[in-house]
Structure 1
């Protein structure tokens, strides 16, 4: 499990000022934490971590020597500046289910033949105990053909008894649409 170092931050110092100084702000919340802990982290460290971990990933957060097993709850970017601004965390408690999301990752999408691959869902919402958390669901699209569709209920995550799926099981995750190629001459003949 990856570790990220953080420092407690004072509420008097504005987050905007900290971002200009090269920090990413955030908060740590949890059932066993009385009030949220406002934190600041080195921007380069956070960006390095987010290359391999994203929303829904479990990491160790070291806040001035105190380690927390946390879930990355939210990652906030400023779309105008294209900059990472805030990352929020939820401290995990071993016997308590937490709400999380699993990112959908399509593999072998270039191998789909006879149709156009359409991803209808980016992530799946669920509740699980910390030891059953999943941050990614991989789908091998190379085995799909025109007319095929994969629903949430078809995925391994939905079949795991330790995970309560919150996304509708009938929701289509990915499908392959048939491509209809008709030339103008054929259309005129049909008319």
Structure 2
């Protein structure tokens, strides 16, 4: 399991000031933690770490020497500034089921000779005990034909008795549609609707 180091954060220092100093702020919460633990991370270290982990990943969080089996619960990105504003973790309890998301990874899309692959779900919500958490679900789309649809209930994770899927079982994960090369006709503009205004 990947380990991420964090420092406790003093709430006297504003998040904005910490960001200017090269930190990302965050919180650790959980059933056995009173309130939450405010933490901070070195920005560059965290960005490097998130190249191999993401929302829904189970990690080992080291807060100044105290180890937490934790789940990356939420990552707040600021697209305008191109940075992570905040990251939240849930400290896990081995006997308690936790809500999480699993990332959908499509495989073998290069084998599709015709049609357009449309991915409708990038993550699936579920709950499970910490020992049964899943990081990603791989979907082989190499044998799909035009008109084929893969739904949540078609995935192996749906059959796993240790996991309770929270996403609609009939929700489409990925579909292979016919390619439409013809130009799509432009919808009629509002101008035609605005013409009968001469009576005013």
Partner secondary structure for residue 18 of structure 1? helix
Partner secondary structure for residue 142 of structure 2? helix
The equivalent of 2:99 in structure 1 is 99
Q: CA RMSD in A?
A: 1.3
Considering fraction of residues, name the structure with more helix.
Answer: 1
The equivalent of 2:85 in structure 1 is 85
Q: Deviations over 1:55-101 (max 9, x none)?
A: 00011111111000000001111111111121100000000000000
CA distance in 2: counterparts of 1:16 and 1:110, whole angstroms: 44
The higher radius of gyration belongs to 2
The equivalent of 1:42 in structure 2 is 42
Q: TM-score, normalised by structure 1?
A: 0.92
Gaps of 5+ in 2: 184-200
CA distance in 2: counterparts of 1:174 and 1:138, whole angstroms: 12
The equivalent of 1:62 in structure 2 is 62
CA distance in 1: counterparts of 2:124 and 2:12, whole angstroms: 37
CA distance in 1: counterparts of 2:128 and 2:52, whole angstroms: 21
Gaps of 5+ in 1: 184-191
The equivalent of 1:32 in structure 2 is 32
* Number of residue equivalences: 183
CA distance in 2: counterparts of 1:182 and 1:17, whole angstroms: 53
The within-5 A match list for 1:159-170 is 159-170=159-170
Query: Displacement of 1:180 after TM fit?
Result: 4.9
The equivalent of 2:158 in structure 1 is 158
